[in-house]
Amino acid sequence: MITEGTQAPAFTLRNQDGTEVSLSDFAGRKVVVYFYPKDDTPGCTKEACSFRDNHQAILDRGAVVLGISADTQAAHTSFRSKYQLPFDLLSDPDKQVIQAFGAWGERKMYGKTYEGILRSTFVIDENGTVIKAFPKVSPAEHAKEVLEVL
């Protein structure tokens, strides 16, 4: 997993509308990039809604939010609409960006071990440097932790 003080990996992915979004689009702004396992699942919904509920405060601190998972654009469109999420959800079906950030690895659920997306968040400064890495995230209150960093 990338660490604080390192340059965030450059990326370009398609959002829920099929529009390409690049990290470089936000040069000069802080960016909150959060990785999550799957649209419309309980933990991911809690996390997304936490970012939704704190979105204006995040914007007020000069930052934007980008959610990334391996889900399809269509799944992102549905998830975003269902929960009125005001930020882009980016689709990484090949998991290249997920792996570049180190958000892919061993997970355990119900006693089974498997490879998957590690719920993690990175706060990136105006120059593209990671200023805070959250390698493990508690979904419901996570946006408030991010606000404290911003």
pLDDT band at 140 (very low <50, low <70, confident <90, very high): confident
pLDDT of residue 83: 98
Q: Is residue 1 part of a domain?
A: no
- Residue 21 and residue 10 in contact, taking contact as beta carbons nearer than 8 Å: no
2 within a domain of the structure (yes/no): no
pTM metric for this prediction: 0.95
CATH of the domain at 107: 3.40.30.10
- Name the phi and psi angles at 7, rounded to 5: -75, 135
141, pLDDT greater than 90: no
Within-domain flag for 105: yes
Q: Residue 54's pLDDT is what?
A: 96
Residues labelled catalytic:
44
Question: Residue 68: pLDDT above 80?
Answer: yes
| Cβ(23)–Cβ(11) below 8 Å | yes
Q: For residue 112, what pLDDT is reported?
A: 84
Structural domain range at position 24:
12-145
Residue 27 counted as domain residue: yes
pLDDT tens per residue, range 94-131: 999 999 999 999 887 778 887 899 999 999 999 999 99
Residue 3 lies in a domain: no
Among candidate residues 145, 150, 1, 148, the one with its CA nearest the CA of residue 62: 150
Residue 32 lies in a domain: yes
Q: How many CB atoms lie within 10 A of CB 145?
A: 15
Q: What does the pLDDT read at residue 111?
A: 84
pLDDT tens-digit profile of 26-65? 999 999 999 999 999 999 999 999 999 999 999 999 999 9
Q: Structurally, how many domains does the chain consist of?
A: 1
Q: What is the pLDDT of residue 49?
A: 97
